[in-house]
Amino acid sequence: MRVKLTVAYDGTDFVGWQRQARGRSVQGDLEKNLRRLTGQEVSVQGAGRTDAGVHGCGQVASFEADLQLPVEKLAYALNNLLPVDVRVLAAEEAGADFHARFTPSRKEYRYFMVPGEAGGPFVGRYGWFCPPIADIKLMQEAAGLLVGEHNFRSFCGKSAVVTTYVRTLYEAELRPAEADEVPDPLYRLAAEGKVLMLRLVGNGFIYKMVRLLTGGLVKVGQGKLAVAEFARLLAEPAEQPPAPAAPAQGLYLWRLCYEANGAPTVDRM
């Protein structure tokens, strides 16, 4: 049976989504516990390969296996085996041709900044407690430019391995987050209007793209990078990003929407 999993995880203690020679990966934890549950070697493919420290709220993964239990009971059974920082939110049978990574999808990433706040010991892993931002309007103006098809070469990690830097963003917004738009650890701060959210929906994201875009936008908000210069980096791909990548802990792969399961019925994901 082909299975589609929806998975949430706290990225703090992982080397990332992808299995590596050393260290805990989300993929590795899922595969290990599916092996315990089914007695089979299972290869789990994720939609987005998040980096170390990056969180997942609605990551989607797929695998092929002979299940000895009804698929409706798989999430419960897996959660009993998995460590508390990985949770399977849903498990369902998928079409034979469904593949979390290769079936076209819309992906939503969210990046949470908490400008000018010190942060306590319980929240530092869940957002970027960045310096104060002088002008959020400028950041919003720059973020608005991101919608559409662009060559994102200027905002990609050097080790990105891609055949093209062109991606399409369907939505791009930057604004204070509502309390119900953030993960639990940031709820109080968002309720007090202190959390700034960059929300991006696109057909694909390149290695470090969201974090480098966030870094560039914060530089715009600090008055150290003109909106016109930001626009030029989108129009004329450069080798060097305009600012370092924002730290991993503020980034969340928020959710995915697969066109193969029916085209999105709403404009906004």
CB of 196 vs its own copies, minimal distance in Å? 17
Whether residue 267 lies in the annotated active site: no
Using the contact rule CB under 8 A, the part of the chain among 33-41, 113-121, 143-151, 201-209 near its own copies is 113-121
Pick 100 or 186: Cβ nearer its own copies: 186
Q: How far is CA 233 from CA 28, 60, 209, 210, 212, in A?
A: 37, 32, 13, 15, 12
Using the contact rule CB under 8 A, the part of the chain among 5-13, 107-115, 210-218, 223-231 near its own copies is 5-13
3-class secondary structure per residue, the chain: CEEEEEEEECHHHCCECCCCCCCCEHHHHHHHHHHHHHCCCCCCEECCCCECCCEEEEEEEEEECCCCCCHHHHHHHHHHHCCCCEEEEEEEECCCCCCCCCCCEEEEEEEEECCCCCCCCCCCCCCECCCCCCCHHHHHHHHHCCCEEEECHHHCCCCCCCCCCEEEEEEEEEEECCHHHCCHHHHHHHHCCCCEEEEEEECCCCCCHHHHHHHHHHHHHCCCCCHHHHHHHHHCCCCCCCCCCCCHHHEEEEEEEEHHHCCCCCCCC
Tell me which of 39, 116, 120, 223 binds its own copies, using CB under 8 A.
Answer: 120
Tell me which of 123, 217, 227, 234 binds its own copies, using CB under 8 A.
Answer: 123
Residue with tokens 């909106």: 227
29 binds its own copies per the rule CB under 8 A: no
Pick 26 or 209: Cβ nearer its own copies: 26
Using the contact rule CB under 8 A, the part of the chain among 94-102, 112-120, 213-221, 226-234 near its own copies is 112-120
Pick 209 or 245: Cβ nearer its own copies: 245
Q: Which candidate in 29, 51, 97, 135 is catalytic?
A: 51
Residues of span 46-85 touching its own copies by CB under 8 A = 55, 79, 84-85
Tell me which of 2, 32, 49, 87 binds its own copies, using CB under 8 A.
Answer: 87
Number of residues that bind its own copies (CB under 8 A): 27
Nearest-CA neighbor of 149 among 180, 132, 170? 170
Pick 99 or 125: Cβ nearer its own copies: 125
Pick 121 or 132: Cβ nearer its own copies: 121
Binding mask 187-216 for its own copies (x = CB under 8 A): xxx-x-------------------------
Please give the residue ranges that form the binding site for its own copies (CB under 8 A): 8-10, 55, 79, 84-87, 118-126, 179, 183-189, 191
* Residues annotated as part of the active site: 51
